[in-house]
C-alpha cells in the first residue's frame, strides 16, 4: 500500500521497461516469493496510472525471462527457476579463448579444392564422386600451445576467389555464404568425447590417448541438403563449457 516505488512517465526510458525492472527487483528482493500471485493487471495499471496494455507489455518481458508465468482466469504467478536443464552456449568456440585475454593464433595448414571421397559422400549424402569441395585445415594455438585442430569442407559451386579474410578465421557459415549459391539455413552440431588419433596427437603435441572434445557440425541449405561439414578437435584439458541458469543478473 504505502510503497514508494514509482514510474517516471516523462522519462525517455519506456514505461513498460521501467515497470518490468521494478517488478523484477521486487521479485529478486523476495517481496514476491516463488509461487505467489502478483497483483492483477488492472490493479497494477491503476496503481501506476498507466494503461493495462502497457502493464501487459511489462509482464510479457518477465514471462519471456522466465521469472513469472500467467494463467488465464487465475492470475500472474512468480515462477520457480528451472535449473534442471543445462544450456551450454558458446558463440564461436574459438572466441572463448580471446575473451579470456589470451594470445590466440589461427594457422591455416592447408586450403584446397578436392574431389569427393567416401567420407564426404557420406557426410554430404551424395553419390557423385566428381563433386568438388573446398577444404580447409587449421590449427588453433593459444600462448604458443596448440589446442585445437579443425577440418572443414564446403560444397563448391561458385568459382569465387578465396578472400584473405576467410583464411584468417574460416567460419563454416561464412565460407558457405561466399562460395556457394545456397543460403545456409540450419546447423546440426554434435559434441562427443574421444581420445586423440595418432595424427591428432602429433598435431596437438600431446601424448597418444589424450581425451579430447570433438565437435562435428553440418550446415544445411533450405532443402535440407548438407552444404558444409566440419570436424573440430579440442584438447580436453584446455577447454571446458560453462553454463549459467536461473535468475542471475545478466548485466
Partner DNA sequence: GAGTGGTCTAGACCACTTG
Partner DNA sequence: AAGTGGTCTAGACCACTCC
Q: Residues interacting with DNA, by CB under 7 A? A: 9, 12, 14-17, 38, 40-43, 49-54, 56-57, 59, 70-76
**Cβ proximity of 146 and 204 under 8 Å:** yes
Q: Give, for 63, the enclosing helix (H) or strand (E).
A: helix 52-64
By CB under 8 A, the residues from 176 to 215 that bind its own copies are: 177, 183-195, 209, 211-213, 215
**Cβ proximity of 93 and 147 under 8 Å:** no
> Around Cβ 58, how many Cβ atoms within 10 Å?
25
Least separation in angstroms between residue 115's CB and its own copies is 26
186 interacts with, out of DNA, its own copies, none, CB within 5 to 8 A per kind: its own copies
| Cα dist from 150 to 65, 205, 234, whole Å | 36, 15, 9
By CB under 8 A, the residues from 72 to 91 that bind its own copies are: 80-81, 83-91
- Helix (H, G, I), strand (E, B), or coil: what is residue 198? helix
Smaller CB distance to DNA: residue 12 or 127?
A: 12
Residues 234, 251: Cα–Cα separation, whole Å = 30
135 interacts with, out of DNA, its own copies, none, CB within 5 to 8 A per kind: none
Binding residues for its own copies, rule: CB under 8 A, are 28, 30, 33-34, 64, 80-81, 83-93, 171-173, 177, 183-195, 209, 211-213, 215, 217, 219-220, 222, 236-237, 239-248
Amino acid at each position: 500500500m504505502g510503497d514508494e516505488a514509482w514510474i517516471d512517465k516523462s522519462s525517455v526510458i519506456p514505461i513498460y521497461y521501467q515497470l518490468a525492472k521494478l517488478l523484477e527487483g521486487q521479485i529478486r528482493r523476495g517481496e514476491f516469493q516463488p509461487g505467489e500471485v502478483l497483483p492483477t493487471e488492472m490493479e497494477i495499471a491503476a496503481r501506476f496510472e498507466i494503461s493495462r496494455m502497457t502493464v501487459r507489455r511489462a509482464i510479457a518481458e518477465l514471462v519471456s525471462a522466465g521469472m513469472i508465468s500467467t494463467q488465464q482466469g487465475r492470475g500472474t504467478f512468480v515462477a520457480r527457476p528451472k535449473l534442471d536443464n543445462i544450456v551450454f552456449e558458446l558463440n564461436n568456440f574459438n572466441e572463448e579463448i580471446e575473451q579470456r585475454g589470451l594470445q590466440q593464433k589461427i594457422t591455416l595448414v592447408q586450403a584446397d579444392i578436392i574431389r569427393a571421397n567416401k567420407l564426404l559422400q557420406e557426410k554430404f549424402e551424395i553419390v557423385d564422386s566428381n563433386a568438388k569441395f573446398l577444404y580447409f585445415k587449421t590449427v588453433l594455438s593459444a600462448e604458443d600451445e596448440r589446442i585445437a585442430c579443425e577440418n572443414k569442407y564446403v560444397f563448391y559451386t561458385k568459382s569465387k576467389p578465396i578472400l584473405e579474410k576467410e583464411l584468417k578465421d574460416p567460419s563454416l557459415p561464412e565460407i558457405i555464404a561466399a562460395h556457394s549459391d545456397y543460403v545456409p539455413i540450419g546447423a546440426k552440431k554434435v559434441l562427443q568425447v574421444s581420445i586423440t588419433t595418432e595424427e591428432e596427437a602429433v598435431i596437438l603435441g600431446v601424448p597418444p590417448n589424450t581425451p579430447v572434445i570433438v565437435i562435428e557440425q553440418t550446415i544445411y541449405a533450405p532443402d535440407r541438403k548438407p552444404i558444409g561439414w566440419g570436424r573440430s578437435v579440442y584438447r580436453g584439458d584446455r577447454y571446458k563449457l560453462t553454463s549459467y541458469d536461473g535468475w542471475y543478473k545478466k548485466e
